[in-house]
Amino acid sequence: MTSIGVSREIEDRFRSVISHLDDVTQRYRIARQSIVELGRYEADLAAIKLMQATWLHINALSSVAEIPYTGSHSISAWVLLRAAFEAGLTAWWLVAPENWIEREARWLQWIKREEIHRDKLSKSSNVFGADFVTQLEGERDRLAKRRQDISNLLLDNVAPDQRPKVERQLRPPTVSMEQIIRETGLPSRYYIVYRVSSHYTHSGPSTSNTLLQFANDENTQTSIPCDWSEMFCAASWLMTDPGQVVLIRCGANHEDVARIVDAHNNLLDCVAELKRLCAQHV
């Protein structure tokens, strides 16, 4: 169904951008299938699974973009983008260091965060009964044991004179998304994107303000497809930049990975044309 007040030319270009985004996710899938063996490191295994979650979120965003009329569900898309953003950047952060010990140390930080979450949840879940609390505590303890087992394994594989340094690396503090963005080497504006999408996810005032604007003035729907431009670029970027780092670390075919970049560049060209058409339409 065509958006109210949107020209057919803009509508067609909007759908063309969706098609390019689908091409990006398809190219990622092909590159992912080229991996013969995922490897031995916990960080690498976790990262490829997180990128799979990112892929699922972006596929869902692509579908949301067309219902019930083009571009109407931008708030839902922001929620999906936030989930994809967190999963993709965490995956990138896990595998970024060349040194395998540093990658595993990051994985231990990541696991420690989950332990803390399960511990806090168990202490506030009595209302659900003792069995549920026991389940959460068991999950927390299994995570802690797994983390300690991997720590010991890492220490067994380093020279004695390196142990003090490695032991310091393996004492996991908690890790935040702001830290992940900083340690991945991305500019601070990426954290702003995360915060904006989080505001929609947690139903901040901008959620209701946006809906009220659409409800009170149908003419604002003219700009809906154009407002998606940055979301489309961010979604494609998540599959491309974090995606290629994780894929190459896990042994994907480099030529297949390069095709993701080509598809991403095609999307950027299409988005630029969408913006041009929107500017003419105003």
Which residue, 175, 192, 167, 5, is CA-closest to 85?
192
For CA atoms 110, 111, 117, 120, give the dihedral sign: negative
CA–CA dist 184, 187 (Å, integer):
9
Q: What is the CB-side half-sphere exposure of residue 274 using CA atoms within 13 A?
A: 29
CA max distance for the chain: 70
pLDDT tens digits for the chain (282 residues)? 445 456 788 888 999 999 999 999 999 999 999 999 887 889 999 999 999 999 999 999 999 988 877 677 888 888 999 999 999 999 999 999 998 888 888 888 888 888 887 788 877 777 677 888 888 888 878 888 888 888 777 777 777 777 776 666 666 566 788 888 888 888 888 888 788 788 777 776 766 666 655 544 444 444 466 778 889 999 999 999 999 999 999 999 999 999 999 999 999 999 999 989 888 876
Q: Which of 39, 6, 66, 90 is nearest to 280 (CA)?
A: 6
**Token pair 């549920």 is at which residue?**
132
pLDDT of residue 80: 93
Best CA proximity match to 267, nearest among 235, 219, 225, 245: 235
What six digits make up the tokens of 67? 């219902």
Amino acid 66: pLDDT:
84
Contact 177, 85 (CB under 8 A): no
Give me the pLDDT at residue 101, please.
83
Q: 159-187 pLDDT, tens per residue?
A: 777 777 666 666 656 678 888 888 888 88
pTM here?
0.83
Q: Where are the domains of the chain?
A: 1-96+184-282, 98-175
Distances (CA, A) of 233 to 4, 24, 86, 116, 243: 24, 11, 16, 34, 14
Query: Using an 8 Å Cβ cutoff, are 68 and 136 in contact?
Result: no
